[in-house]
């Protein structure tokens, strides 16, 4: 498998999972808007929905933004794809569970892990063939 095939496969795999995530985000947000009549009424909503929205909007967006730059600059290979999967399948549930259970330690672990993934993702832009140019 060539380098361009690896890049293309990694990008397709990550963006397809990210598309499913954002369709779920839009669905949850639309449900919350309709349920509260466009946020004008106080209605009891499942806390997991509000924490899912908050985790995506406030915590994961900077790291997903960095990952999108990695895709744009053509440095998104298998390692960056695995970092993206780790972010979506491990860190996002940590944020949601930590907020639902109001566990500060779990939220701190998720935040520091998110920062680490963001820094490593940013460094992926500068590293090519495991060497700094």
Q: How many CB atoms lie within 10 A of CB 53?
A: 15
- Cα 35 to Cα 85: distance, rounded to the nearest angstrom: 31
Query: What 3 state SS string does 40-90 have?
Result: CCCCCCCHHHHHHHHHHHHHHHHHHHHHHHHHHCCCCCHHHHHHHHHHHHH
Question: Tens digit of pLDDT for each residue in 28-61?
Answer: 999 999 998 888 888 888 899 999 999 999 999 9
Determine the pLDDT at residue 133: 47
Residue given tokens 């995530």 in the structure block = 21
Judge contact between 80 and 44, C-beta under 8 A.
no
Which residue stretches of the chain have pLDDT < 70? 1-2, 128-133
Residue with tokens 């839009």, as numbered in its chain: 26
How far apart, in Å, are the Cα atoms of 119 and each of 19, 87, 111, 128?
23, 12, 12, 16
Sorted by where each begins, the domain ranges of the chain are: 3-132
């Amino acid at each position: 498998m060539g380098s361009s095939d690896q890049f293309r496969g990694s990008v397709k795999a990550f963006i397809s999972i990210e598309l499913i995530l954002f369709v779920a985000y839009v669905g949850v947000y639309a449900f919350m808007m309709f349920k509260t009549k466009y946020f004008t009424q106080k209605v009891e909503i499942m806390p997991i929905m509000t924490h899912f929205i908050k985790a995506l909007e406030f915590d994961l967006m900077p790291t997903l933004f960095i990952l999108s730059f990695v895709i744009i600059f053509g440095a998104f290979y298998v390692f960056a794809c695995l970092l993206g999967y780790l972010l979506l399948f491990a860190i996002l549930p940590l944020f949601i569970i930590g907020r639902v259970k109001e566990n500060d330690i779990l939220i701190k672990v998720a935040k520091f892990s998110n920062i680490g993934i963001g820094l490593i993702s940013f460094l992926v832009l500068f590293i090519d063939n495991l060497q700094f140019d």
